Structure 1
Amino acid sequence: MEIFKQKQVTTKSGKEYTLQHPGVRNVTKINDRVKNKHGINSEEKICEEMFKHVVVEPKLTIDDFEEYSEMVEVANKAYYFITGTPDPDEESKDSADDNK
């Protein structure tokens, strides 16, 4: 059995979420599913896929969020995590810490 990497993230509002990488094959499947008929990523589909397959604690759906900005921030952090893309929020935090 394969154990997938997990990551704790905290949003600007201070809420904590646990992300779990679903595996490389599943990331490729997710990337295929989130595209619309023109090959462009759909925000709603990305959010649904991230909350279904990546955000493991707390378990949420789009409808559980009260704030749009919180929903997008969590989905973006999850997508950055599974694709290996640097999170701009973490990079700006790191550079701010370096300047202290």
Structure 2
Amino acid sequence: MFKQKEFTSESGKKYVFQFPGIRAVTRIKDRVKNKYGIAQDEKAADEILAHVIVEPKMKMEDFGDDINEFNEVIGAAIRFMNGLEDEEDDDQQAGS
């Protein structure tokens, strides 16, 4: 099984992220780009919700109008998928 991480948003909601594997990450990064190579937010969010956030299983619509929760969770999941969460955790511990 791939690496997992529990994430609690500022509002106190809990999520579980799971690394989908290097090949899957590479494919996700390819799929979310437009013809000019620019990542598209909607496609990226759909991919993250489908392949990285494993609990609870959600769609964009499940966030309702809570754009702050959506941005926080999707951003954290993207950082996790890209292997950046460990660096961020280290920075937080160093600042404590």
1:31-59 CA-partner distances (Å, limit 9, x unpaired): 00111121111111111000000100000
1:71 maps to what in 2? 70
Equivalent in 20, 24, 46 of residue 44 of structure 2: 46
Deviation at 1:85, TM superposition (A): 2.0
Distance of 1:88 and 1:5 partners within structure 2: 16
The root-mean-square deviation of aligned C-alpha atoms, in Å, is: 1.9
Distance of 1:87 and 1:12 partners within structure 2: 19
Q: TM-score with structure 2 length normalisation? A: 0.87
Q: Percent identity?
A: 44
Letter in 1 for 2:44: I
1:33 maps to what in 2? 31
- Greater shift after overlay, 71-80 or 19-28? 71-80
Q: Quick check: 1:7–1:20 contact (8 Å CA) kept in 2?
A: yes
1:83 maps to what in 2? 82
| Alignment CA distance shift 1:88-1:24 (3 Å) | closer
Q: Quick check: 1:47–1:72 contact (8 Å CA) kept in 2?
A: no
Q: TM-score with structure 1 length normalisation? A: 0.84
5+ residue gaps, structure 2: none
Question: Equivalent residue of 2:54, what SS?
Answer: strand
Equivalent in 53, 58, 76 of residue 60 of structure 1: 58
Question: Equivalent residue of 1:32, what SS?
Answer: helix
